[in-house]
Amino acid sequence: MSKFLNTTGVSYHLEELIKNTTDRLILISPYLQFHNRIKDHIHNLNIQKKDIRIVYRESKLQLDESNWLESQIGVRTSVCSTLHAKCYLNESEAIVTSMNLYSFSQQNNDEMGIYVSKDTDPDLYNDIYTEAQRLLTISEEIRVSVKKVDKQAEDKKNEKDQTKKPNSDFSQSKYLTTKELSQKTGLSSRKVNSILVDKKLMYKKDDDWFYTKKGNEFGAEQKEGAYGKFVVWPEEIIDSVLK
């Protein structure tokens, strides 16, 4: 049985839908600005390695939102330039609504929506799911791109690079992921990655991160997780490279 929702109902059922996801979560909203509780629920699902897909319209996010999404390794984000629909669903329920996944909308706007349960209205749920899948198919998944640089300018930059090589003995070092380096330095995860790439310590191929020969000299170690290959670094990299 479908149910009409007012503004309060949409906010409540949306949070419950995200929190109660057991397998797959799809969030479709032209604009994104995550409430802290929503971030906590998505982060918790990501830790559990749930399949999380987010489709939005604007490729230019606020810095805080972009940094947070960058830190959620495993959450897949896509941009659909024609998107106007707002739809949220997991494996058993769906909400079609006027409300963006945007804190201001949840707190200040008058919204409405329809809640659908797969158990009581499977045909309607399947129609919503099919359209959500279509939007995922036509959306462009966001990936990190490699920017072209002028060769001479890059060579000059390298000549000026004052990066100090740390002690080569890392046997007693504490190794940190990019996210952990971000937390310790106050830099965004994207910025940490950018610095390490600019200093030719690591590079990205497809969806995997690899250290370079120079990165190996700085103690980099290769790891592989559920979402692909990544690099961890000795804590000394903070003083020698990131400061």
What number is the average pLDDT over the span 180-185?
90
Residue 215's pLDDT is: 87
CA–CA–CA angle 55, 60, 62 (5° rounding): 100
Helical (H) or strand (E) element with 228: strand 228-234
- Supply φ then ψ for residue 118, to 5 degrees: -65, -35
Tokens for 98, please give them: 């006027």
Tell me: the pLDDT tens digits for 111-153? 999 999 999 999 999 999 999 999 999 998 875 333 344 445 4
Residue 104's pLDDT is: 67
Q: Which fold has domain 3-141?
A: Endonuclease; Chain A (3.30.870)
Residue 166's pLDDT is: 58
The domain locations on the chain are 3-141, 151-242
Under 8 Å CB-to-CB from 159, ≥6 apart: which residues?
Answer: none
CA distances from 2 to 5, 95, 99, 118, 125 (A): 10, 10, 18, 10, 10
Tell me: the pLDDT tens digits for 58-114? 766 777 778 888 888 889 999 998 999 999 999 999 999 999 998 866 677 899 999
Residue 144's pLDDT is: 34
On the CB side of 74, how many CA atoms lie within 13 Å of its CA? 17
CA–CA distance, 151 with 186 (Å, rounded to integer): 31
74 close to 52: Cβ distance less than 8 angstroms: yes
Angle between helices 7-19 and 36-47 (to 10 degrees): 20
Strand order, beta sheet including 221-225: 175-176, 228-234, 221-225
What number is the average pLDDT over the span 24-33?
94
Tell me: the pLDDT tens digits for 208-223? 899 998 888 889 999 9
Neighbour count for residue 96 (Cβ, 10 Å): 21
58 close to 84: Cβ distance less than 8 angstroms: no
The separation between CA 194 and the C-alpha centre of its own chain, rounded to angstroms, equals 16
Under 8 Å CB-to-CB from 198, ≥6 apart: which residues?
Answer: none
Cα radius of gyration rounded to whole Å, the chain: 21
What number is the average pLDDT over the span 2-11?
95
CA–CA distance, 45 with 42 (Å, rounded to integer): 5
Specify the pTM: 0.59
CA–CA–CA angle 224, 225, 229 (5° rounding): 40
In the block, which residue shows the tokens 């191929």?
205
